[in-house]
Amino acid sequence: MKNIDSNSHVRGLSVYLDDIPLVYGTLFACVYDSPIAHGKLKSIDTNEAAASEGVVRVITAEDLIGENQIGGIVPDEPLLADGEVHFAGQPIAIVVAESEQLARKAAKKIKVEIEPLEVVTDPRVAAANERLIVPPKKFVLGDTESAFKNCEHIFEGRTEQNGQEHLYIETQGAYAVPTENGGLRIFSSTQGPTAVQRAVCRVTGLPMHKVEVDVQRLGGGFGGKEDQANAWAGICAVACQITMRPVKYALHRMEDMRMTGKRHPYSSDYKIGLDKNLKIVAYEASFYQNAGAACDLSPPVLERTLFHCTNSYYIPNVTATAYCCRTNLPPNTAFRGFGGPQGMFVIECAIAHAADKLGVSATEIQRRNLLVDGNEFPYGQLAESEAETSWAQADEKYDLTTLQREADEFNTTSKYFKKGVATMPVCFGISFTKTPMNQARSLVHVYTDGSVAVSTGAVEMGQGVNTKMAQVAAKMFGLEIGAVKVHTTNTLRIANTSPTAASAAADLNGKATQLACETIRDRLFEVAKDLVEAASVNDLSLQDGFVYRNGDKTSLGWQTLVMEAHLQRVNLSEHSHYATPGICFDWTTAKGHPFAYHVYGTAFVGVTVDCLRGRYEIEYVKCCHDFGSSMNTAVDLGQIEGGIVQGIGWVTMEEVVYDADGRLRSNALSTYKVPDIYSVPKEIAVEPLATDRSNLAIFNSKAVGEPPLMYGIGAYFAIRNAIKAFVDCTPPFDLPFTPEKVLMQLYGNAGQ
Ligand code: MTE
Ligand code: HPA
Ligand code: MOS
């Protein structure tokens, strides 16, 4: 089934923040942001800007009525800089004017005096200076120290990983409209309506019941709007509160790139120990996370790096330590995978390192160490593993030996083009690692004409969650999907939402919707029982718009039943709550059962490198992926393809560059390369894993949003293998593997 939005998307009829009709008298905000990365804010001169054409007000920190703070986990992020600036791009003042152009023109007239302070951009330097945002986090399984003593082979190394720009097509933005008695209605492009509501309340001093947040859909979020939509909503809210007029701010692309955080870059150390059978016996890793200038979501991202630091492998002795390092970059944030990809990359590097040194293929080491049922993860949960089954099924379907042989044969005859193949297994835990976040609510109304309205806490951002919510209700009531309308995500209808994140939105909100529909259905069955003279409600079901009794269609149609129930004064609405059962995690012991389940898969990635020019093409990504039983294969295949391409982009071409002064150099699409249609793999093949194990997913359909991104990591290792076929070398583990870096590897690391 198609995504229910596809029709309106292609006709340009879907509504995003910028399409919301503006209320008469709307003003436009624009931010003046810090030109330098660290310094003492000596003075702000707003006089010229305030006198500029069309300007209604210029707002600085001292004008705020509420608290100048939006830091959710650690209160270290002022809405507007006060006293100091901590990153280039940090908002200092808000200009509010009659038009967008006039606001931007006036913002240029603001003058600040900033006394520069030392700029730190390197997480290891930050750690050495004790600039940690939270204390280090650690996972321990077994005893690495004694295990290393018995290892046949030990290898140590270092990896560097870059950031990644979210590049959602719709930039960040918000629109605040005053409501009666000092309330606010906020339209926001956010994954977290409640996060926006909290931030707005904090900076305006309003109680939560006076602030309504409404989200129609996002033109992409990818994690970038889990926390970082808050600032823009806060800015509009403050400006609205002070001017008492509606205020809108939709960021320009370069403002967005400059002012918002990205995927966290990491610098990491590893030590891996193997026995003579290539079993990994011990693994130590230290992760230095470049958190940027404020906490944002860095600690939970860092935690997920630890949760996924052994990927799909069972390693009996693990010590993994992670440092959340404060630097003078824009605060880095959630990005598809949420730290998981960073953890997985390091273990894959350690395995590749061992393979290089031992003269075996990395694939051989990977295969011998896959998780099996009952294996313990470093965090205490026991695996229900599909690592071996997905590997075996991928191998059966795509035949890794033949793929490798074809590449080898090609390489013996081709001088300047070389092929490389790599395997990338993935094991990704589903649930927010912070247990209390794993809850959701859904409000279902059945109207007297039989049509159904659903509101949940899930935010549609292109991933198709609204289609899945409509499918849940349609299935529960035995209706066509057209009978169901999924409405905006709104904090008045659904309160205290968790953000749409962690790939868990369909599960959490789908289960809540299922419960709500079940309750309404049971009430309807009580009414139907008499109408169709059934012995018991248990004999009844709903299909194709009719009531069925013992599997046989009756003449009682859905609409008639609904109307009859209404006349009998039966409640046709329900608001249900779902909380994932059986999950827990205790940070005092760093053990627990944090995930409802894991998603597994295995991908084979093939590339061709042009060894004269350093360019490469991704030939194929062939994976066997664990969907559970997909609710919507069209949507899920789109998620897999999109995730893979985004993952490949991260490890190959996307290069976020800050200079030593902390200024973003890759600040536009002319200097930041994202995958386009020419750089996607020539083939993406997806084989559904055959498994009927039950799990906690909605209708047994496993979460699909993030896990496929990590197949993309295989592209890095495939390129590396191709290079090694051209020249005897051991390329450093340094992402992204841009064509420039490939070329330097091919020709003796020119420039060093
Ligand atoms: N797909 C599209 N088209 N746009 C997005 O912004 N975000 C990803 C993923 N797929 C995203 C996407 C991220 S980071 C997450 S966590 C999940 O979707 C969230 O949605 P879900 O929980 O419904 O899978
Ligand atoms: N994943 C994504 N977003 C989150 C998480 C998580 O585990 N925890 C808090 N926000
Ligand atoms: Mo996704 S990074 O959990 O929004």
Alpha carbon of 513 to ligand 3 centroid (Å): 21
Atom 11 (ligand 1) nearest CA = 222
Nearest CA, atom 8, ligand 2: 432
Three state DSSP letters for 526-562: HHHHHHCCCCCHHHEEEECCEEEECCEEEEEEHHHHH
Instruction: Tell which atom from ligand 3 comes closest to the C-alpha of 336.
Output: 2
Q: How far is CA 155 from CA 236, 274, 318, 357, in A?
A: 53, 9, 15, 9
pLDDT of residue 748: 78
What does the pLDDT look like over 332-345, one tens digit per residue? 999 999 999 999 99
Q: Above 50 in pLDDT, residue 750?
A: no
Question: Which ligand 3 atom sits closest to the C-alpha of 335?
Answer: 2
Q: Over the stretch 142-181, which tens digit does the pLDDT of each residue have?
A: 999 999 999 999 999 999 999 999 999 999 999 999 999 9
* Whether residue 501 has its Cβ less than 6 Å from ligand 2: yes
Q: Which of 74, 303, 338, 706 to mutate to test the pocket of ligand 2 (most atoms within 8 A of CB)?
A: 338
Ligand nearest to the backbone CA of 434: 2
In tens, the pLDDT along 472-526 reads 999 999 999 999 999 999 999 999 999 999 999 999 999 999 999 999 999 999 9
pLDDT tens digits, residue range 212-237?
999 999 999 999 999 999 999 999 99
The full DSSP string for 435-452 is GGG-EEEEEEEE-TTS-E
- CA of 256 from ligand 2 middle (Å) equals 22
Residue positions annotated with a catalytic role: 706
Compute the Cα dihedral for 734, 738, 744, 750 and give only its sign. negative
Q: At what angle do helices 400-413 and 387-398 cross, to 10 degrees?
A: 50
Reported confidence tier of residue 17, pLDDT bands at 50, 70, 90: very high
pLDDT in tens, 463-477: 999 999 999 999 999
pLDDT of 749 = 59
Provide Rg for the chain, Cα atoms.
Answer: 27
- The CA distance from 132 to 589, in Å, is 21
CA distance 719 to 723: 6
709 pocket-lining for ligand 3 (C-beta < 6 Å): no
Q: How far apart are CA 139 and CA 300, in angstroms?
A: 14
Residue type for 627, please?
A: F
Q: What is the pLDDT of residue 691?
A: 86
Q: Which ligand is nearest to the CA of 306?
A: 2
Q: Which ligand is nearest to the CA of 635?
A: 1
What's the mean pLDDT in 720-740? Answer: 97
Helix pair 633-651, 340-358: axis angle to 10 deg: 60
Separation of 64 CA from ligand 2 center, angstroms?
30
Mean pLDDT score, 583-597: 98
Mean pLDDT to the nearest integer, 636-645: 98
Answer whether 701's CB lies under 8 Å from 630's CB.
yes
Q: Which residues of 265-286 are buried (b: 16+ CB within 10 A; e: fewer)?
A: bbbbbbbbbbeeebbbbbbbbb
The pLDDT of residue 329 is above 80: yes
From the CA of 464, how far away is ligand 1's center (Å)?
8
Ligand 2 and 308: CB distance under 6 A? no
Is the CB of 705 inside a 6 Å radius of any atom of ligand 1?
A: yes
Cα(706) to centroid of ligand 2, in Å?
A: 11
pLDDT tens readout for residues 231-270: 999 999 999 999 999 999 999 999 999 999 999 999 999 9
| Confidence band, pLDDT 50/70/90 cuts, at residue 316 | very high
Atom of ligand 3 nearest to the CA of 338: 2
pLDDT at 130 over 50: yes
Ligand 3 center to 497 CA (angstroms): 15
Residue 335 CB–ligand 3 contact under 6 Å:
yes
Residue nearest to atom 7 of ligand 1 (CA): 222
Query: Which protein residue's CA is at the shortest distance from atom 2 of ligand 2?
Result: 502
Q: Is the pLDDT assigned to residue 626 strictly greater than 70?
A: yes
CA angle 189, 192, 197 (to 5 degrees): 90
On average, the pLDDT of the chain sits at 97
Residues 522-536, mean pLDDT to the nearest whole number: 98
Q: What is the pLDDT of residue 752?
A: 41
